[in-house]
């Protein structure tokens, strides 16, 4: 299987040891690439990817040296192949800078810092995020781009 045959569907980023779906702009987990396509690219969803192409992509991925999501090294700059999430949140608790995509997640995160959180308490700010993997494989890292604090979801 040649990368040329499927390059309109995926991008291999050997520096990070990942394969990025060109439609979703997130990485495809190497242990279960079919799950990504089942959840995102069936005939009833946007950007349908035929079964034969899915099989070829999965085959090709087995030939690559890919990292598991928890092992991907965080970059120190924006990764152009990955999507940008414009509405995210960054924790302002000193020394943390954890990021997430919802205020309710930030509130849950804050229980780690304080036992009690008043109803109107907010010690987080809006930020822009980027993610390598969606779902359970995300981990939160902060990044500086052009002097602005930006969170990276990995």
* Residue 152: predicted pLDDT: 53
Q: How far is it, in rounded angstroms, from Cα 102 to Cα 65?
A: 33
On whether the CB atoms of residues 124 and 106 are closer than 8 A, the answer is yes
DSSP state of 74: P
Q: How far is it, in rounded angstroms, from Cα 29 to Cα 72?
A: 11
The 99-100 sheet, strands edge to edge: 99-100, 84-91, 124-131, 148-153, 140-145
Determine how many CB atoms are found less than 10 A away from the CB of residue 144: 10
**How much is the pTM?**
0.76
> In tens digits, what is the pLDDT along the chain, a chain of 154 residues?
566 779 999 999 999 999 999 999 999 999 989 999 988 888 888 889 998 999 999 999 999 999 999 898 877 678 889 888 777 777 777 766 667 777 777 777 777 776 666 677 777 777 788 888 887 777 544 444 444 455 555 5
On whether the CB atoms of residues 48 and 60 are closer than 8 A, the answer is no
């Amino acid at each position: 299987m040649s990368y040329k045959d499927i390059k309109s569907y995926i991008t291999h980023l050997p520096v990070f040891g990942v394969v990025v779906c060109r439609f979703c702009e997130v990485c495809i987990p190497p242990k279960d690439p079919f799950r990504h396509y089942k959840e995102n690219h069936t005939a009833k969803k946007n950007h349908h990817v035929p079964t034969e192409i899915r099989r070829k992509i999965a085959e090709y991925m087995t030939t690559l040296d890919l990292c598991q999501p928890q092992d991907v090294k965080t970059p120190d700059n924006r990764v152009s192949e990955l999507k940008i999430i414009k509405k995210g949140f960054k924790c302002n608790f000193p020394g943390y800078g954890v990021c997430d995509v919802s205020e309710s997640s930030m509130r849950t995160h804050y229980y780690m810092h304080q036992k009690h959180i008043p109803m109107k308490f907010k010690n987080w700010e809006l930020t822009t995020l980027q993610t390598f993997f969606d779902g359970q494989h995300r981990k939160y890292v902060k990044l500086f781009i052009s002097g602005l604090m930006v969170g990276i979801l990995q």
